[in-house]
Structure 1
């Protein structure tokens, strides 16, 4: 699995095992130490990290952590790379035995789930300190806010995983079509591509492939809708959502969607891009690298919806602190340092994800990747979370993102046989059983 696909596949969904593993955590939370015991004064602060790129990432991240020199009285940090396979159980078991990390990266909803179980040390103190020092101003708009819950900030963001619209320049030229700027022109370009046997809505909803799911959510968000209301309650059957999904059905009828897309795995989707079968489609910011084509695959600007809306779906991957730590002071000191120092990972080109810090996004090295730079400049400011239109995220979103209901909904829409309202009603009933 390549770097881009690793990032896209696991940044949000990799922690979904906790939907089941969390069943043990109510017991664990009762015996977990309170904010800041455990470990002893001589114990190193444990930082657990995930393989966010090719093997070079882990080597560079380990070297970075080993360079940490804490101020007097605080512990050094140790680095451990946790593999994605079964990692939810790895974290859960470690928390149960009080051998887990003090600070870690992980799945996008991980902090929210563990916070619900009492295992997370909230980051409010750290964020207040960064606000006073000016460090908070370095974060891109909306990234810090996405970590806030009713009880406080569960984590601090460090990278972004976004859904954006890509196109293959040579195929649009062959079809005599322009780069779409809104839904109307997207429809016309899709028609032109269909005439040359190319698909204009390249996604998939097969086993392990979430691009179809996220494309549906991105389309709803891009039309001013979303899956939830402002209070975080499921709110799918709205005029804007129905309109967005009827547009998807229209694309299906125009031949913009491969009939086999309902069963596409991520590998199938990658192959379709590589073999020039897809002319446009939703994907991650790392698509060009994942298919080995950085010249002909270009990102559009955000598409304008029929009511003037511009928006897309984004997941904020974060760094979280735990209650089992040598001290909360030690955790906050390390995380403050890490946020200031992690630019080295982008400078070494070992991480495909998008940064949340302006100082990295505006650096000369990052701007060399013109497509990533465009995504940060144009797509990030209009991005919204998986919980839209709610301003806050919550742990139950993991079960929605990784559940069967959203995949079944996406497959239904990609088949184009069921009207949008009926499909949305079915989807709403399914997630109401999860989000209570």
Structure 2
């Protein structure tokens, strides 16, 4: 994993799942038979969590965890830092000193499943169906975690990539907010005349937005890196068309020529300093850059040339492990914890979208019209890195944050290529790692 690519803090939520999910494929680390020792001798469920935002979030999560008392058990809380987190998890799991339940990298559950270390969540899902919580999930958030053998995890929040715009710059340029690719190109040319950036992005150190924008535009055109069956499909016509359009934005100066080197701080500064007019970013970007004046707004999804619409989502999840003092207690804890998640949004500690409709309706969340727009317009059409498919898998860790995607993005942003050549190199890089 390229752990240095992302800072995980409330104001550094940029590549939250993107970097979190960028875990190298796990090396074999022993057998995967179930054990009943994954906690203290007293039957305590060990819950490992990551620093998803400010320390206040972890403090609140710790309090929730320690409030659990079901199934004749209790729970302990431990923060695992993102730096070298893969090694931390794999070493602990190999020595049977790891957690019974954890958050973690976006594709981590699939990777540990290959080791036989994941406890499937099928019984938990049935419990959620019986207690009504399953029906509270937003559409489509659970199914990506289902494999042929069962559910490897359950979602707990969504890291979305959506299009934002600065209203005043569009007014100054005298153009409407884009509705499709044609009007995006038209608006970008007009915005350039007033010194504004019509498609803001960046691919410098620590900035995954450029990578994500590349995939997002492919999805926006009905494309994606994989087929519906999970096979590599980098050179499909829709991806070629999307890459050609991105190169057109570069050649017209609508994408900043320096974007290839822009760090997260550089890109955020463009938005804050009223230089960026339109582009992909995280939810609550306005709060992130410190401008909640109402001038920074979430745009409606734009249509590709064939009418396709789509955004990019990284569904963060909680997983259970076979090494537990009690599977019943692991499941009871997770049911309890999912039921308490609303407290984190009530306290405004989360910068991400909730997975439950009831949390999305809380006044603390729904009072922000940008949040409401993302839930209503973007979440239902968002796809994961598995697009054109919809099932997550361990191979996606190779795509997300991997060198092949980094190089593809940098090649496109410099404009010194044609679409097919860039995509061929991208595919070749992925095949080298995936051995396909």
Which TM bucket (shorter chain)?
A: over 0.9
Q: 1:289 aligns with which of 274, 281, 287?
A: 287
Output one character per residue of 1:148-184: Cα deviation in whole Å (capped at 9) or x when no partner.
Answer: 1222211000100111001111111111121111111
For 1:349 and 1:41, the matched residues in 2 are separated by 36
2:29 aligns with: 27
For 2:152 and 2:123, the matched residues in 1 are separated by 11
Unaligned runs of 5+ in 1: none
2:174 aligns with: 176
2:62 aligns with: 62
2:4 aligns with: none
Q: Secondary structure at the match of 1:433?
A: helix
Output one character per residue of 1:178-218: Cα deviation in whole Å (capped at 9) or x when no partner.
Answer: 11111111111111111111111111112221111110100
The Cα of 1:343 is off from its aligned counterpart by 0.3
Q: Secondary structure at the match of 2:228?
A: coil
2:406 aligns with: 407
Answer yes or no: is the 8 Å Cα contact 2:141–2:155 preserved in 1. yes
2:137 aligns with: 139
The Cα of 1:433 is off from its aligned counterpart by 2.2
Q: Would the alpha carbon gap of residues 50 and 299 (structure 1) be closer, same or farther in structure 2, given more than 3 Å must change? A: same
For 1:15 and 1:394, the matched residues in 2 are separated by 11
The Cα of 1:403 is off from its aligned counterpart by 1.2
Of the structure 1 ranges 231-240 and 127-136, higher mean CA displacement relative to structure 2 is found in 127-136
For 2:35 and 2:165, the matched residues in 1 are separated by 49
For 1:409 and 1:18, the matched residues in 2 are separated by 19
Q: Secondary structure at the match of 2:141?
A: coil
The Cα of 1:2 is off from its aligned counterpart by 6.8
1:371 aligns with: 370
1:228 aligns with: 226
1:420 aligns with: 419
For 2:371 and 2:145, the matched residues in 1 are separated by 23
For 1:90 and 1:15, the matched residues in 2 are separated by 15
2:200 aligns with: 202
Answer yes or no: is the 8 Å Cα contact 1:35–1:121 preserved in 2. no
Q: Would the alpha carbon gap of residues 202 and 377 (structure 1) be closer, same or farther in structure 2, given more than 3 Å must change? A: same
Output one character per residue of 1:264-322: Cα deviation in whole Å (capped at 9) or x when no partner.
Answer: 11111112222222111111103111100112211100111111111111110000001
The Cα of 1:416 is off from its aligned counterpart by 1.9
Say how many residue pairs are matched: 428
Q: Would the alpha carbon gap of residues 402 and 173 (structure 1) be closer, same or farther in structure 2, given more than 3 Å must change? A: same
For 2:108 and 2:29, the matched residues in 1 are separated by 18
Of the structure 1 ranges 50-59 and 34-43, higher mean CA displacement relative to structure 2 is found in 34-43
Answer yes or no: is the 8 Å Cα contact 2:15–2:209 preserved in 1. no
Answer yes or no: is the 8 Å Cα contact 1:10–1:107 preserved in 2. no
Q: 2:18 aligns with which of 12, 27, 30?
A: 12
Q: Secondary structure at the match of 1:163?
A: strand
For 1:89 and 1:307, the matched residues in 2 are separated by 44
Structure 2-normalised TM-score?
0.94
Matches within 5 A, 1:52-201: 52-71=52-71, 74-201=72-199
Q: Secondary structure at the match of 1:11?
A: helix
Q: Secondary structure at the match of 1:351?
A: coil
Matches within 5 A, 1:343-362: 343-362=342-361
Matches within 5 A, 1:311-326: 311-326=310-325
The Cα of 1:68 is off from its aligned counterpart by 1.6
Q: Would the alpha carbon gap of residues 393 and 35 (structure 1) be closer, same or farther in structure 2, given more than 3 Å must change? A: farther
Cα RMSD for the two superposed structures: 1.6
For 1:126 and 1:55, the matched residues in 2 are separated by 29
For 1:7 and 1:387, the matched residues in 2 are separated by 22
Structure 1-normalised TM-score?
0.94
Q: Would the alpha carbon gap of residues 15 and 92 (structure 1) be closer, same or farther in structure 2, given more than 3 Å must change? A: farther
Q: Secondary structure at the match of 1:152?
A: coil
2:252 aligns with: 254
Answer yes or no: is the 8 Å Cα contact 2:23–2:107 preserved in 1. no
For 1:8 and 1:127, the matched residues in 2 are separated by 30
The Cα of 1:33 is off from its aligned counterpart by 4.4
Output one character per residue of 1:324-344: Cα deviation in whole Å (capped at 9) or x when no partner.
Answer: 111111110000111111100
Q: Secondary structure at the match of 1:78?
A: strand
The Cα of 1:10 is off from its aligned counterpart by 3.5
